[in-house]
A and B are shown apart, each in its own frame.
Chain A
Amino acid sequence: MSEVRCPFCGKINTADAEVCSTCGSRLQALQNSVPEETEETPEWLVNLRKRAQLEANLSASTPPFHSTDDAEDDPPDWLQSLKEAASQVNTDFTDTGDQAETEETPADESTSPFTVDDQSWLRGLAGDTPEVTPKPEPEKSEPESVAGPVDWARRLANEPIAQQQAEDDEPEDTEAFPVENGELLSRLESWTAEPVPLERKTVETPPPSSPAFTVDEAEIEEGEPEAEEIPSEESTQPPFVFDSSDEEGSESPFTVPVEEPEEPEPSLEGFPDWMKVEPEFGATAGDDTGAERLVFLDEDEAQKLPEAGEAATEDAAPELESVFLPEEEDETEVSFDEEPEEGYQPPPFMFDDVPDWLENYAAELPAEELVEPEEPPADLESEVPAVPFTPFSPEDLTESIDLPDQPVEAQPFTETPAEISAAAEDDELLPAQLPGWVEAMRPVESVLSTEGIRSESEQRIERSGPLAGIPGTIPGEDLATRYHKPPVYSSKLQITEKQRLHANLLEAMIAETDEPAEAEPVRRARPSALPRLLVAALMIAAILYVLVTGTPLLPRPYLYPAETAAFQSTLQYVIESERPVLVVVDYQPAYSAELEAAANGPLQDLAAAGVGLAFVSTNPAGPVLGDRLADNLAAQHPAFSTTDDAINLGYLAGGSIGMQALVQQPSRAILSTFEGDDAWGSPLLSGIQSLDGFGGIIVLTDTDEKGRDWIEQVQPHIANTPMLMIASAQAAPLLQPYVQSGQLAGMLSGWYGGVSYNAIAGNPSGAQSVTWTAYQVGIALMVVLILVGALIQGIVSLISARKQDSGA
């Protein structure tokens, strides 16, 4: 395995990484806690077996710690008492079966010789609770043979409960236990009779860089979550026991002697039910640490063996050297100080805390107290196969202890490394101290959440890596891949300065439109009936007065517009050309009075000169108006014939397009006369193929649009034919530029233009003079009325303004 996936964040890290490079989670400890299911016997196990075999041989051959010189030194008083208690317990332990039925001892004080020397003494070394420290009290005559195994087993099963119950001094446990567990006690007696545990606890001196300690701490940190899942029988066993129970032949040499007394597990049947049902208390860190102390002491003992071997027996020295010298080299290489693990909590007695006397304790103790020949049980020896010996490696030991005995259902790993370390430290002080009733009082949410996560995680089976095959592993990868960072969208709109200006402009416009219009009372100038009737009456009366009376006759104008003079001169040129004239009648009947009066003089001049007139119109009503003009001319000039001197070409359809067609080919634009006769076959128009065949074109129009259309569409295409315009007074101002530009040869503007033309041409017209007088009277009256109206409006506005000023 070259890489490790972090269970927290799912990131892949290198195999040698201790912590995750992404989230900083601890990886090494998790790896150590992961059981490896290998078919082959691991190397560490082989080393341990070799070491166990060698140790067994060494113990059987020579008691290594007998009568050393250093052991003769004076130990401390308490240590001396401890030694005495240990020796006394050894002797008492053999009489356990006899005294079990008669003696009743409190749970905390009744310890077997093994358990007293092993756990109490070790806890004293580890700085554990002082009540566990062995206190050989001679005044207590209570035999400990019965209470010892009970307390020992109770400690293995559940030390807090044992302590709690010991305070209550419940006699049920101690009374029932000797009867029910006689077999167990006998086995314990036989097991504790073996000198191995005593040898190890007394000889032990923890080295500063013991790899076993590292393993113990790592296991302590993870022992808490696993304690709930391990069965009671397994949890009651020390951590080093399951190594042998799990796999046959994979027993570590250091765990073999200690495990042997645990073999009679069926003896637990005699224990009360509460000890079986609550296995989590049996797997407490206290017991584990006690057992791990044994492992630690075994390791240390193994390191001390060569020295002790030299002092005790000479024949064992070469063998020890051949075995342990390489181990010391490995230990120096893999020291705890060199590779501290994150979250690791050193034991209180480790390194600096270990007093000097304790370091030299192994040498100071007497040989008979320190060393007792340890012989592995026969059955265990039969279980442990003989394997070739290989030098022991601390890493192997570390892995061996971290590995669980069987695939353990992994609990959701929800704690941070810091919490794990804190929990491990707490577990070491107060292992599994929550009683059942407190567990029942826990918040429901925590239980539910844990169960929910667990049920979800149990459905997962790891397929690769160190957790392969284990169901219910931590779904770190799924959790890491399930959640993603929410996409971040920029709330800032990227626009240019120009766009910003436009946006501001649009916003200003919208703001202006959104503003409600001020509802100002608007006084609408309604044309009331009275002023309208008054003005109409004035106008009608004035005009009728002139028309009826014919007085006063006003003279003709003496000043003539330039376009009128140009019109008169051009018309003279047309008359002299003796070619027919095209008269365009493009005005509405409502303006016939104005335009007929304006065109009467020029048409009379043409008719008097015998010039033929061809009438055409783009207005449907134009042909009728053309006939009217011809009839008026015929009435005024008897020589003018409407059939010979005039022709009505009728209606020219198409507007501007019809004009363009007339310019291009007149005969195709106008097929017949208004009466339906052949137009271009008449004597008047014979020989005319285009508009240039006419002597001139006179356009009568009441709108500037019609006049401009004729100018734009026809005038550019006629070269030798002048175009004259007789326009209404309302259209003349807009057609005036075409006169100044020369596009129109001349123009008559309304009635005034006609009168001016008659004045220039010298045409006498009495009727025109009366109407001209009426026209001038009417114009004067209109001007007066406009001025009066403006004056009245000004006065009213001034009065209203003063009223507003006075009111304000």
Chain B
Amino acid sequence: MQLEFIWTVVGFLLTLLVFSYLLGDNPLFRIASYLFVGVTAGYLGATLLYQVLIPKLLWPFLIGSTTEKILAGVALLLVLLLITRLFPALSAASSIPMAYLVGSSAAVIIGGAVLGTIFAQSRATASAFSLAAGTAPAAAGLQLLDALFILAGVIATLAYFHFGAKPRANEAPSRGPLINTLAGIGQVFIGVTLGALFAGVLAASLTALIDRLNFLWNVVFNQLL
């Protein structure tokens, strides 16, 4: 009970320190910021040590099978090479594990993007026009309208990101009239999307504010009063 109260008071104070930012950048806000950064870094280090290095590198290399030791040895070698980045004379050796990480990550990300986004989204855009059998005319009309709207939004948005232009002598490069029109329509879609994102940010921030105010009120009303 006492420990929970202490942590509640600590939380209450840190919340007030963060709210002090309303008065501008001040030492109180910096204390809270540095405290969070330090705690987070320590927590991450402990988490990586206990969640990654010991169970996935050290134990297999020490008590694992031969295959696990070999694999762990390769991983350990890559780790050591990556540590050489701290030394300028040996930093060239770190390019090997970095190349491995970048190459493997790129391959995984690109493969997932192709399969999970490009193909799936293209198929979904086209399938919006496939009316299921037995659909009511009104529903079918709405579905078709929705599909056309989505298609128009996709094309217009893609047209907005089409930055190619034909060079013209003594004139600034500009897009063609058709692309320019579609880009204007796409700009509307993009604006709506960004507005929705901004509204979501406000909603998320408002939720956090309400949570912190509710916490403060609960602490003051329930713990202090």
**A interface residues with partner B (beta carbon < 8 Å):** 500-502, 504-505, 508, 512, 529, 532-533, 536, 539-540, 543-544, 547-548, 590-591, 593-594, 597, 620-621, 623-624, 650-651, 653, 655-657, 660, 671-672, 674, 676, 702, 708-709, 711-713, 715-716, 728-734, 737-738, 740-743, 749-752, 771, 774-775, 778-779, 782
Contact = CB atoms under 8 A, between A and B. Distances in A.
B112 A671 contact: no
A778 B206 contact: yes
Contact of B22 (A532, A623, A672): A532
Given A508-B171, A740-B124, A751-B207, 15 more contacts: A501-B169, A591-B208, A593-B212, A623-B47, A651-B52, A656-B112, A657-B105, A712-B115, A712-B117, A729-B199, A740-B150, A750-B204, A751-B203, A775-B203, A775-B206
Given A676-B50, A731-B200, A593 B115 contact: no
B51 A674 contact: yes
Contacts of A674: 51
Contact of B108 (A502, A657, A728, A730): A657
Interface in B150-188: 150, 167-173
A779 B48 contact: no
Contacts of B120: 716, 738, 741, 743
A543 B117 CA distance: 40
B193 interface: yes
Interface of B: 22-24, 40, 43-44, 47-48, 50-52, 55-56, 104-105, 108-109, 112-113, 115-117, 120-121, 123-124, 150, 167-173, 193, 196-197, 199-204, 206-214, 217, 221
A733 B196 contact: yes
A321 to B, nearest CB: 95
B217 A548 contact: yes
A702 B48 contact: no
Nearest to A527: B24
Nearest to B59: A671
Nearest to A713: B112
Contacts of B116: 708, 711-713, 715-716, 743
Contacts of B207: 593-594, 597, 729, 750-751, 775
B170 A536 contact: no
A702 B115 contact: no
A543 B124 contact: no
B213 A547 contact: yes
A729 B48 CA distance: 30
Contacts of B206: 539, 775, 778-779, 782
7 contacts: A505-B173, A540-B209, A594-B207, A650-B47, A653-B52, A656-B108, A732-B200
A106 B116 CA distance: 132
A657 B173 CA distance: 42
B124 A708 contact: no
Contacts of A651: 47-48, 51-52
A547 B172 contact: no
B115 A716 contact: yes
Contacts of A597: 207, 211
B197 to A, nearest CB: 6
Given A593-B211, A733-B196, A504 B203 contact: no
A750 B105 contact: no
Nearest to B213: A543
Contacts of B214: 547, 771, 774
A767 to B, nearest CB: 9
Nearest to B122: A741
The 9 A-B residue pairs whose C-beta atoms are closest, nearest first, are A712-B116, A593-B211, A741-B124, A712-B112, A730-B200, A729-B200, A729-B203, A594-B207, A733-B196
B197 A533 contact: no
Nearest to A652: B51
A533 B209 CA distance: 15
A621 B40 contact: yes
A702 B104 contact: no
Contacts of A529: 23-24
B204 to A, nearest CB: 5
Given A656-B109, A711-B116, A774 B203 contact: no
Contacts of A742: 124
A649 B181 CA distance: 52
